[in-house]
């Protein structure tokens, strides 16, 4: 006869072992894991930006013809706008030729080693919807 206590215990151990393997893999591949997570967040943000009412956007600064927005409602330090402008210069976004709405966000992993910055520059069509957006991600 099978002892129910033993069979339950072995099931718990099996579940714990597979869960432990998964979390060990995540720890070993934290850059890949952070990149995948960040990609999912960025895809969600990109999909939702065009549906966000203008009064919910947080205008941080203007740079040439671009308006730079933060995607979070937190108050940003003055250096935030400077970092966004520096990142604009590293991309092919040309704020001197065409008016664009620029959305910027930066995140760090929990251990502060890995920083991810995302910037999207969107051009509005005549009917005030976004015609297209150029997206850039810089990690470091």
Q: The sheet that has 66-70: what strands, in order across it?
A: 58-63, 66-70, 100-108, 115-124, 130-139
Place of tokens 């939702």: 48
- Beta strands 115-124 and 130-139 are antiparallel
What DSSP state is assigned to residue 6?
H
Place of tokens 């008016």: 99
Neighbours of 130 (CB within 10 A): 15
Structure confidence at residue 50 (pLDDT): 53
- Beta strands 58-63 and 66-70 are antiparallel
Instruction: Please state the pTM of the whole predicted model.
Output: 0.59
- Over residues 45-75, the pLDDT tens digits come to 666 655 555 556 788 999 999 999 988 777 7
CA–CA separation, 14 and 25 (whole Å) = 17
- Over residues 94-138, the pLDDT tens digits come to 999 999 999 998 887 776 678 888 899 999 888 888 888 999 888
């Amino acid at each position: 006869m099978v002892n129910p206590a033993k069979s339950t215990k072995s099931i718990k151990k099996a579940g714990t072992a597979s869960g432990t393997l998964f979390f060990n893999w995540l720890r070993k591949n934290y850059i890949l894991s952070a990149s995948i997570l960040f990609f999912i967040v960025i895809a969600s943000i990109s999909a939702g930006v065009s549906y966000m009412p203008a009064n919910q956007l947080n205008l941080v600064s203007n740079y040439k013809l671009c308006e730079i927005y933060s995607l979070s409602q937190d108050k940003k330090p003055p250096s935030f706008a400077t970092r966004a402008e520096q990142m604009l210069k590293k991309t092919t976004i040309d704020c001197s030729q065409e008016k664009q709405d620029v959305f910027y966000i930066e995140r760090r992993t929990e251990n502060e080693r890995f920083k991810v910055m995302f910037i999207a520059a969107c051009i509005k069509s005549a009917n005030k919807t976004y015609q297209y957006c150029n997206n850039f991600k810089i990690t470091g």
